[in-house]
Amino acid sequence: MALGVGAAALYYGARGEAGMGHAAAQNSAGQAEEMAMAGEQVVDPARAGVRVGFNAGPTAPAPGQPVRLAYNVSDAETGRAITDLPVDHERPMHLILVSRDLGRFQHIHPQLGADGAYAVTAEFPRAGQYTLYAEFVRDGRKVLDRRELTIGGTDGPVANLAPDLSAKTVGGITVALAAPPAVKAGEESELTFTLTRDGEPVRDLRPYLGAAAHVAVVSEQGGEFAHTHGEAAGAGHEQEGPTMGHEHAATTGLGPEIGFHHTFPAHGLYKVWGQFQTSDGEVITADFVVRAE
Ligand SMILES: [Cu+2]
């Protein structure tokens, strides 16, 4: 099976959203938006009737140099600039940057500027090629724009992954990932993160951008991308405390288990990044490699 940016590659794990065990469920505008998204597939800009112009400044950035990444979204038919992208998971645009070897990952958020572009400044610490996955919503559909950016004039190494489900410790928090013994390509799998601090379960995670976890998945071959969301395992129990008001329940008390559903589209290795927000507001990212058979 070819691993281009086809429909399977753009599968969006909407089941993770259906659990609604996260903050956006408490927010009426966010809820309506998310419900509309449930079950939707991700489309490329052409299929959504939009054109995406991209500009990096400087155009040939060096490692460590601040680079302004600017997206001009316009209506493919009229050419009119689109500057009213709806907020989805608390931002109008999400941008995930991944190095060619899948060793580096950033999740950042372009904001609308006075020039009508959605822009953000990033730094790429190492030379090499990076893939930029920008996501936004247009007419109720999730749109994915994918492009490459070369830093320091060199492509850098390709990915050479090995399966890795070992627990990672980031910022004092240990993140483990449990996957089924055999993850089957083309079938939905349930995976579960468990977060501990000094061996004790972490129960005070905050939602991060309207979800218990943000999960990015990129295939070793072809850089197929998916962005999905985790939900609290045993959804809802974090809201039961009688002393917790709605506001409070929506912003505290996630963990230690956060699950997500994903269908790996083809057999092979996939890098999986899980992002969580601690009670201090720090965002931690833990990465794993899952093999789909
Ligand atoms: Cu984001």
Task: State in Å: Cα 93 to ligand 1 middle.
Answer: 7
Helix or strand run (H / E) with residue 35: helix 28-37
Q: Which residue has the higher pLDDT, 177 or 8?
A: 177
Ligand 1 centroid to Cα of residue 134, in Å, is: 9
* Cα-to-centroid distance, 60 and ligand 1 (Å): 25
**First-last CA distance in the chain:** 13
**What tens digit of pLDDT does each residue of 146-201 get?**
999 999 999 999 999 999 999 999 999 999 999 999 999 999 999 999 999 999 99
Gap from CA of 145 to ligand 1 centroid (Å): 14
Residue 242 Cα to ligand 1 midpoint, Å, equals 32
User: Residues of CATH 2.60.40.1930 domain(s) within the chain?
Assistant: 15-40+160-292, 42-151
96 CA distance to ligand 1 middle (Å): 7
Q: What is the pLDDT of residues 43-79, one digit of tens each?
A: 999 999 999 999 999 998 999 999 999 999 999 999 9
Q: Do 271 and 133 meet the contact criterion of CB atoms below 8 Å apart?
A: no
Residue 219 reports pLDDT greater than 70 = yes
Integer Cα distance of 242 and 126 in angstroms: 50
pTM of the model: 0.81
CATH architecture for residues 15-40+160-292? Sandwich (2.60)
Which stretches does DSSP call E strand in the chain?
42-43, 50-57, 66-75, 94-99, 105-108, 111-112, 118-123, 128-138, 141-151, 168-170, 173-178, 188-197, 200-201, 213-219, 225-232, 257-263, 268-277, 283-292
CA 274 to centroid of ligand 1, rounded, Å: 12
Q: Which helix (H) or strand (E) holds 15?
A: helix 15-18
Q: How far apart are CA 154 and CA 198, in angstroms?
A: 41
φ/ψ of residue 187, rounded to 5: -120, 145
76 CA to centre of ligand 1 in angstroms: 25
Å from CA of 211 to ligand 1 middle:
10
Burial of 198 (0-12, 13-18, 19+ CB in 10 A): exposed
**27 Cα to the center of ligand 1, angstroms:** 18
Q: What is the distance between the alpha carbons of residues 220 and 215, in angstroms, rounded to a whole number?
A: 16
Q: How far apart are CA 253 and CA 248, in angstroms?
A: 9
User: Which helix (DSSP H) or strand (DSSP E) does residue 250 occupy?
Assistant: helix 246-251
Ligand 1 center to 243 CA (angstroms): 31
CA 209–ligand 1 middle distance (angstroms): 7
- The rounded distance, in Å, linking the Cα atoms of 242 and 240 is 6
Q: Which fold has domain 42-151?
A: Immunoglobulin-like (2.60.40)
CA–centroid distance, 181 to ligand 1, in Å, is 30
